[in-house]
Amino acid sequence: MIREPVPRTVRVFEEGVLRTLRKHGMLDPGDAVLVAVSGGADSTALLLCLHRLARRLGITLVAAHLHHGLRGDEADMDEAFVRELCLRLGVRFVAGRADVRRLASERKRNLEDAARLARYEFLRETAASLGCRKIAVGHTLNDQAESVLLRFLRGSGEEGLSGIHPVLDNLIIRPLLERPRGQVQRYLTSLSQTWREDSTNSQLRLRRNRLRHELIPYLAKHFNPRVLETMARTAAHAREVAGYLGSVSRRTYQALRHGTEPDIVQLPARPLAGLHPAIGRRVLRLAIRDVRGSLKGITARHADELIRLCGSGTSGRSVDLPGMVTARLQFGELVLQRKTPGAPGLYRYELPVPGRCPVPEAGVSFSASLVSCANVPDAPDRSR
């Protein structure tokens, strides 16, 4: 049997993937790995590469493909493409189907978010049911750079700049995260492997595409030819700092927190106000999350307001946070508490006609006047 020599492009790519796998301890011998394959270049290369390395790594593969029910014939052909590829490689293939449009309207998400949620749910369930200990997904160095840049332009701190994690929950792994997209495509071409292009990319993700096709090439040309690698380094650095600040804050929060009642968190105000703001703000976010269940709509300004409240020392003062949470200073303690949902009869005001009636609880004021029937204006149409 004559073995063809492995092209240099292929060797370089696979050695790079092996380095990433080792550096982040992504795979152990004996692992069954579920590989997420859309049929695009990145995930096709991921499947092919892990398949070629499988014996050496001592792993077994299953490929999974989710049909999002969005792009008609084209999506059917993607599924057929992945099915045939798996057949040829001798890799077990699992196909799933989701109704992303329904999911999006049910959960009030945009299509892209809903598709991602559906995909990860499908992958986690499939992995669990098949006993796969790892789920491999095809994010590349370009995805990492794009994500860090977008977050930076939005003003994210360490958490956001941490970007795409190489390993998540010791379950999801991203073996291509240190490979540039150009290398991925050269790898496939060298192995005479085709892939599917997603024609809806440009509609679904306008901003991401502008970043990909305009901003990053522009930055590479005029500011930093190694912008992809620089962004990846920034992400690694941010992950490290976020990890450290997170662990200090969690320890501090646990040490300061009083009581164990659900929906109430009590923290001593003076020690809280004395913390370094980098930690104090994070401690408060942990407290708010415990009371509210999430941090949606909570900004740095809210944490700052609570720190000022603690510093003021005025017992009885309180601050309202979004999501029906009140923070009150009581005898040297900051008490965070969920408000009881506004039952009818919680407050009542008389509205004189004509006259005005302010409702401080709601932050609004009603005014009433008498008009003649003929002068009633058409109600503005708010139905849309």
Least separation, in Å, of the C-beta of 117 and a copy of itself?
25
Nearest to 268 by CA among 277, 260, 259: 259
Least separation, in Å, of the C-beta of 224 and a copy of itself?
5
Least separation, in Å, of the C-beta of 258 and a copy of itself?
25
Least separation, in Å, of the C-beta of 51 and a copy of itself?
33
Q: Which residues contact a copy of itself (rule: CB under 8 A)?
A: 150, 152-155, 157-158, 207, 210-211, 215, 218-219, 222-224, 227, 230-231, 233-234, 237, 240-241, 243-245, 247, 276-279, 300
Please identify, using beta-carbon distances, which residue of 161 and 334 lies nearer to a copy of itself: 161
